[in-house]
């Protein structure tokens, strides 16, 4: 299952993780456990990147977290392979 969570422009850096978690609960609550594993890993990466990309918690960021997870994280014929992308920018 593919997934995508957008961090809209002008999101306060201090709110970015909570925004992603809110979207996870609202839009992916019934998703595969593998999707939640990927989102959790992407959020951990986001938490590490936030102070490097936007050191001011009152500053703003934008970006996206996305991926694709197959059952058991195993390749499935006719489906994309597992992948996770985290994109974070000031602004």
DSSP 8-27: EEEEEGGGHHHHHHHHHHHH
Rounded to 10 deg, the angle between the 33-53 and 16-27 helix axes is 160
Q: 28, 39 in Cβ contact below 8 A? A: yes
Task: Determine the pLDDT at residue 13.
Answer: 96
Helical H segments across 1-91, by residue range: 16-27, 33-53
The per-residue pLDDT string of the chain (91 residues; one tens digit each, 9 = 90 and over) reads: 999 999 999 999 999 999 999 999 999 999 999 999 999 999 999 999 999 999 998 899 999 999 999 999 999 999 999 999 999 999 9
Specify the number of domains making up the chain. 1
Task: Determine the pLDDT at residue 56.
Answer: 94
Task: Determine the pLDDT at residue 50.
Answer: 97
pTM of the model: 0.94
């Amino acid at each position: 299952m593919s997934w995508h969570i957008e961090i809209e422009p002008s999101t306060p850096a201090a709110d970015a993780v909570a925004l992603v978690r809110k979207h996870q609960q609202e839009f992916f609550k019934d998703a595969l456990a593998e999707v939640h594993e990927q989102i959790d890993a992407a959020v951990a990466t986001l938490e590490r990147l936030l102070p490097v990309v936007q050191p001011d918690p009152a500053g703003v960021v934008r970006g996206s977290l996305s991926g694709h997870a197959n059952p058991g994280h195993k390749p499935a014929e006719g489906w994309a392979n597992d992948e996770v992308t985290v994109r974070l920018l000031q602004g």
